[in-house]
Amino acid sequence: MTTTELSLPPALTQVQLHDAFWSPRLEANRAHTLPTLHRKLVEVGALDAFDLPAYAERGLTIPKTHHVTPQMWWDSDVAKWIEAASASLVTHPDAALDAQIDDTIARMVRAQQQDGYLNTYFTAIEPERKLTNERDWHELYNAGHLIEAAVTHHRSTGKTSLLDVVERYVRFLSGVYGTGEGQRPGYPGHEEIELALLRLYHATGRREHLDFARYFLNQRGQTPNYFETEALARGDDPQEFWAGTYEYMQAHVPVREQSQVVGHAVRAMYLYAAMADLAAADGDPQLRTACERLWNDLTRHSLYVTGGLGPSASNEGMTRPYDLPNDTAYAETCAAVGLAFWARRMAALTGEGRYADVMERALYNNVLSGVSLGGDHFLYENPLESDGTHRRWAWHACPCCPPNVARLLASLGEYVYAVSAREVTVNLYAGSTLQAEVGGRALTLTQEGMYPWRGDIHLSMTLDAPATFTVRLRIPAWAQGATLNVNGEAVAVTPQQGYAVVTREWSAGDTIDLMLPLVPRRTYAHPAVRQDAGLVALEYGPLVYCVEGLDQRADLHALSLPRDSALDARFDPDLLGGVTVIEGAAVIDTAATADLYSGSPPTTRPALLRAIPYAVWDNREPTPMRVWLRERVG
C-alpha cells in the first residue's frame, strides 16, 4: 500500500453512532463526564489560572481573590476538556457548552504573551525558569494538547479563535527550537507536541508544521543528549537525573534505532503515534520499520490481556519482558488511550487488521475501565486483581486520565471506519452511519447489530449511482469460522491482512451480512509470565472478563475453574446497564482444618462461576476482583 492509498479516518461530521453498546457510554460522557470535568477544573482553579499571566505580563500584583497556584500540567487538562467538548458539539449542538468553550479560549487569548508563549505556570509563577528544563517539565507537552484542542475545535465548529492562538505559539516555539544559529537543539521530555504538530499539518496543510514535527522526532536521542546540555546550562549535574536513564522518556537512542518499548508508557505511546504519522506523511520506510519493531516488542512481551500497558508505578511504565503483575498493575488509563492512538495510525499505515485488533482490545477493556458507567468517577491505574480497596475516585491530584478518556470517546466515530478514494474499511463493529465519497460517488453506509453481545453485523448502502470500490471488513484474530454474505449470497472469507475484502460494483440497496462467532473462550499467558502460571482468563468477542466477589460469595483466590467445565454466555439486561455474563461450574477450596498450616489438602465444594466484562468492574459496592483465575486440571 503506497502513501497515496492510505485509508484515513473520516471526519467527525461524517459518522453518526447509534450503537446499543457505545451510545450509553457516549451519552454518559456528554451528559456527565464533560460537566464533571468543567466543574472540577473550576473548583481547583485551572480555569482561573489563565487569568494570572495577564497580571504577570503587565507587572501587576495578582489580586487577593486569586488564590491559585497553577500546576505545570493544568494547561493540558483544560485543553483536553476543550477537545472533548468540541467533539461533542458535532453530534450534540449545545449553546451553553459552546459558550463555556468560547469563554475558556478567551482566557487563553488574554493569557498569551506578546511573543506567542502561553503557559500559565511559567508566566505567572516562575517566569525566569521558562523553557529551561524540557527534560522534567511540561511546557511542550502542554503546547501539544493546546494544538490538538485547537484542531478539533476548528474542525468541529469552524471557528479559528484557538487555532490562531496555537499558530502564534508554534511560530514562537519553532524560533526557539531547531538546528539553526541561535536555536536550541531541544525536544520535549514528555512527548505530545510531535503528534499534535502532525495533526495541525493535516488540518492546515502548512508544511512548516510537518517540518517542525519531523525535527522533534529526528532530534530525539541524538548525541550529545540535549537533556545533559540543558542541565549544565541551568547549573545542574546531569548525572543526578532522578529517573536515572533517558529510557524513561525514550530519548536514549534516536527513534529509528529503538527496538524495545521502555520507560514511561504514556510518553512512549504518544511518541510512537507520532512516528507512525510521520512515516505515513513522509513515506519513510525506516520509521515504519521502527514502529513495527516496537509494536512487535510490546504485543509479544509486555501487553496486558486487557490492552493495558506499564506494570510499574515507580516509572508509570515498563519494566522487563513478561513482567505483568496483576494486583500491582499500573496500566494507566492514559496509556491505553495512547495505545488506541498508535494502533489506529498503524492500521492506516500498514493496512493490517492486527493493529485494529489491539485498538479494539484497548477500547473495550482498559479504556472503558477508566471511567464509571455514570461517567463521573475514574481510575488512573487499572489493575487486573483487587482486594476491594482499589476504587474509582471523583478527582485526582494529576487528573490527566478523565479528559483523555473523554476526548477519545467524544471522537469515537473516527475509529470505526477508514476511507480512501477506492476503499471503505470497517475497523470496529458499532451501529453507525458513514457518509463519504468512495469510487467517485456519494456513499451512505449504515451498520447495524448488537456487537459485542451478538456477532451478526448488517451493513446496507445508499449510493447516488453505481460505483466500483472495495469494502474491507476486519476479521478479528479470535473470530474463527466467520461467514459473509453479499446481497444474500455467500462469499468466502479468506482474510487478507486481517480483513475480508470485497471488490465489486456496488449499487443502492446492496447489503453485507457478516457473522462473527461469539462464544466464551479461554486465554492463557505465555509460560514466561510467572504471575499467570496455572491461571486462565475468559474472553467473549473483544471483551475480557473478570470475577467480582459480589457474585461468588467466596474468596476469589480459592476459586478455580476446571479446564473441562462448559462455559455459557447469556445476556442479563438488568445487570450493570445490560451485559453478557459468562457462567460455568467452578470449585472453591475450603480449609480441611482450622490450623494455619496442615498436612491435609483443602476440601472442595462446587460453585457457579459468574464473570462480567472487565470494563464494568467496580460499578457496584466495594468487592474483590480478578481477571486471571486458577485453573483446575484433572
d(C-alpha 271, C-alpha 279), whole Å: 12
Beta-strand runs (E) in 499-542:
499-506, 511-515, 521-523, 535-540
Catalytic site residue from 230, 316, 423, 583: 316
d(C-alpha 518, C-alpha 452), whole Å: 8
Q: Which of 302, 321, 309 is nearest to 381 (CA)?
A: 309
Which DSSP string corresponds to 103-133? HHHHHHHHHS-TTS---HHHHHT-GGGTTS-
Q: Which of 448, 454, 586 is nearest to 519 (CA)?
A: 454
- The one-letter code for the residue type at 550 is L
**Edge-to-edge strand ranges of the sheet holding 489-491:** 15-17, 432-438, 441-449, 456-463, 511-515, 483-486, 489-491
Instruction: Determine if the peptide bond prior to 452 is cis (ω within 30°).
Output: yes
316 is catalytic: yes
Which DSSP string corresponds to 143-175? HHHHHHHHHHHHHHH---HHHHHHHHHHHHHHH
- The one-letter code for the residue type at 211 is D
Let me know: does 525 contact 532? Beta carbons within 8 Å: yes
3-state helix, strand, coil in the chain (%, to 5): 40, 20, 40
Count of beta carbons in the 10 Å neighbourhood of residue 232: 11
> Per the structure block, which three cell numbers stand in for 18?
447509534
Count of beta carbons in the 10 Å neighbourhood of residue 633: 8
Q: Which of 255, 423, 405 is nearest to 340 (CA)?
A: 405
d(C-alpha 342, C-alpha 280), whole Å: 12
Q: Which residue has the cell 446497564?
A: 577
400 is catalytic: yes
CA distances from 252 to 39, 235, 261 (A): 40, 22, 12
> Per the structure block, which three cell numbers stand in for 70?
497553577
d(C-alpha 371, C-alpha 619), whole Å: 10
Catalytic site residue from 191, 194, 385, 400: 400
Which DSSP string corresponds to 55-91? HHHTTPPPPTT------TTHHHHHHHHHHHHHHHHHH
Let me know: does 36 contact 462? Beta carbons within 8 Å: no
Count of beta carbons in the 10 Å neighbourhood of residue 152: 27
d(C-alpha 276, C-alpha 291), whole Å: 6
Active-site residue numbers? 316, 400
